[in-house]
Structure 1
Amino acid sequence: MSDGQRGVDLETSIGYLLKEASSALRSAMEAVLRPLGMTVTHYSCLELLAQRPGLSNSELARGAFVSRQSMNVLLQSLERDGIVTRPAEARVGKTQPTQLTARGRRELAKATAAVKAVEDRMLSGLDAESQGQARRILRSMVSSLG
Structure 2
Amino acid sequence: MARKTAATARSKTARKTPARADGGAMHIPAPGEGKRGEQGYLGYLLRQAHAAVRLKMERMLADLGVTSPQFAVLTMLNAYPGLSGADVARLTFLTPQTVGVIIRNLEREGAIAMTPHPVHGRIQQWTLTPRGATLLKACRERVMLLEKRLAKGLDDKAEITIRRWLANVAIELPKE
The TM tier, using the shorter chain, reads 0.7 to 0.9
The one-letter amino acid of 1:86's match is: M
List structure 1 segments (4+ residues) > 3 angstroms apart after TM superposition.
none
Equivalent in the alignment of 1:5: none
2:169 corresponds, among 117, 125, 141, to: 141
| Deviating more after overlay: 46-55 vs 14-23 | 14-23
| Equivalence map 1:21-100=2 (5 Å) | 21-87=49-115, 89-91=116-118, 92-100=120-128
| Deviating more after overlay: 92-101 vs 52-61 | 92-101
Query: TM-score, normalized by length of structure 1?
Result: 0.88
CA distance in 2, matches of 1:135, 1:37: 29
CA distance in 1, matches of 2:68, 2:61: 7
Deviation at 1:90, TM superposition (A): 4.8
Per-residue CA shift, 1:52-71, capped at 9, x if unaligned? 00000001111111111111
The one-letter amino acid of 1:16's match is: Y
CA distance in 1, matches of 2:113, 2:148: 32
Change (3 A) 1:136 1:94: same
CA distance in 1, matches of 2:46, 2:169: 11
Aligned residues: 137
Q: Which has the higher contact order (CA 8 A, sep 6+)?
A: 1
Percent of paired sites with the same residue: 33
Gaps of at least 5 residues in structure 1 are 1-8
Gaps of at least 5 residues in structure 2 are 1-33
The one-letter amino acid of 1:95's match is: I
| Deviating more after overlay: 46-55 vs 76-85 | 76-85
Per-residue CA shift, 1:25-46, capped at 9, x if unaligned? 1111111111110001100110
Query: TM-score, normalized by length of structure 2?
Result: 0.74
The one-letter amino acid of 2:60's match is: V
For the aligned residue pairs, the C-alpha RMSD in angstroms reads 1.4
CA distance in 2, matches of 1:145, 1:102: 38
| Deviating more after overlay: 11-20 vs 109-118 | 11-20
Equivalent in the alignment of 1:4: none
The one-letter amino acid of 2:146's match is: V
Per-residue CA shift, 1:60-105, capped at 9, x if unaligned? 1111111111111111111111111103x55414210001000000
Equivalent in the alignment of 1:124: 152
Does residue 105 of structure 1 match 2:133?
Answer: yes
